[in-house]
Structure 1
Amino acid sequence: MKLALIGATGGTGLQIIDHAIDRGHHVMAYCRRPDALTPRPGLTIVGGHLDDHDALVSALSGADAVLCALGPRSGLAGMFGVTVMQDNLPLITTAMRDAHVDRLILLSAYGVGNSARTASPLARLAYKTVVASAYRDKQISETALPKTELDVTRLLPVILDDGPLNPHATVRPMATVTKVSGLPKISRATVAAAMLDAAEDNDTSGKRLLVSAPGTTSG
């Protein structure tokens, strides 16, 4: 598959590149800082800004799917006024429509929107404080997705860390989850693999998929 990647220079984006190339996919990384990526076989690096509509449309054209791993810079998640997804997700979806690319795999987060109902009390407190602004930003941006008429899969990982790929991680539709215990963590490598699995499986279209540590969910 030809995969277009937004957010390629972040922790999860870098993992997506590694795993996608290992699976035999070709990745087109569209990013503000192309010098932050190392050229390699299977990777095309395109420098550009998301508000450059024509450049983004050109970069996305011919892709089988767009993987979006955008997020706020480290340390900004709980600060007031985070708008990175509100500002940029509409730019991406509009460019996708103009580039005739329908499939979007979007990195969201567990605790965004009504998914917080299944979280532990401690986790819900964190969502209302530590990451409140970033989660509100994601929720607002994602409410507009149905109007785009794109085929969207949203990945909702629990707390991210830099551990190794966990082949036993729980990946399941949020609609089947009634409880997530404690404050579980999952690695960015595992989330990257789950995003690629979703891109390869059209049956995940329209779903929100929880990504969590083994043994932490019930339903």
Structure 2
Amino acid sequence: MKIAIVGATGNVGKRIVDEALHRGHNVTGIARDPSKLSPRNGLTLVKGDANNPSKLSQLLVGHDVVISSIVFLDSDIALLIEAVRASGVKRYLVVGGAGSLEVAPGKLLVDQPDFPDFVKAEATKGGEYLNYLREIKDLDWTFLSPSALFTDGERTGVFRLGKDELLVGIDGKSWISYEDYAIALLDEIENPKHIQQRFTVGY
């Protein structure tokens, strides 16, 4: 497939680029400073800004899939959706957050008293992003939420998938590596099971 990744130089974006190339896809890495990524076979690096929809849409034309892997606070979902729609690409995947996952029926992780203050604004914006997507019917979107701790790790290929509830392991921890998250995202691209849905991944 031809896959465009907006925010390809971030912690998650880089792993998604690696996983997509590993599987033989053609990847366009879009970032404000694409020089942060090393050129490789199958990878086209281009400069682009998520907040400039007219230019971004031109970069997205001709792709099979668009992946958004950018900080929610640094972007405007309406502008991103405008760019995707204008490009003609129907498949749109978003690197989501964990804050909007439920820890109990009707109770979100972001609203819990021990939720870290320094990520609360970003988590809240992520929840707003998901709610915005849920009203969109003309794109085949998917929002993949990581577990509570999203960090460097190993590519194991061993993880669980869930829907709207936070996944917690038998050790009481809720986490997923960037590398295994990328596997789950590419699995969804190659074998779609969550069209116009959110799902989550964790150990």
TM-score band (shorter)? 0.7 to 0.9
Pick one of 116, 127, 144 that aligns with 1:155. 144
Percentage of pairs with the same residue: 28
Is the helix fraction higher in 1 or 2?
A: 1
TM-score by length of 1: 0.81
Is contact 2:6-2:50 (8 Å) kept? no
TM-score by length of 2: 0.87
Instruction: Tell me the residue number matched to 1:61.
Output: 61
Instruction: Tell me the residue number matched to 2:102.
Output: 115
1:90 to partner: Cα distance: 1.9
Instruction: Tell me the residue number matched to 1:80.
Output: none
Question: In the alignment, does 2:83 pair up with 1:95?
Answer: yes
Name the SS of the counterpart of 1:199 in structure 2: helix
1:166 to partner: Cα distance: 2.5
Name the SS of the counterpart of 1:203 in structure 2: coil
**Paired residues for 1:176-191 under 5 Å:** 177=165, 180=168, 182-191=172-181
Instruction: Tell me the residue number matched to 1:209.
Output: 199
Unaligned runs of 5+ in 1: 73-82, 214-219
Name the SS of the counterpart of 2:180 in structure 1: helix
User: Alignment length, in residue pairs?
Assistant: 198
For 1:192, give the aligned amino acid.
A
Instruction: Tell me the residue number matched to 1:70.
Output: 70
For 1:161, give the aligned amino acid.
T
Runs of 4+ that moved beyond 6 A:
118-123
Pick one of 167, 175, 187 that aligns with 1:197. 187
Compared with structure 1, are the counterparts of its residues 70 and 126 closer, same or farther at alpha carbon in structure 2 (3 Å cutoff)?
A: farther
Whole-angstrom distance in 2 between the partners of 1:178 and 1:130: 20
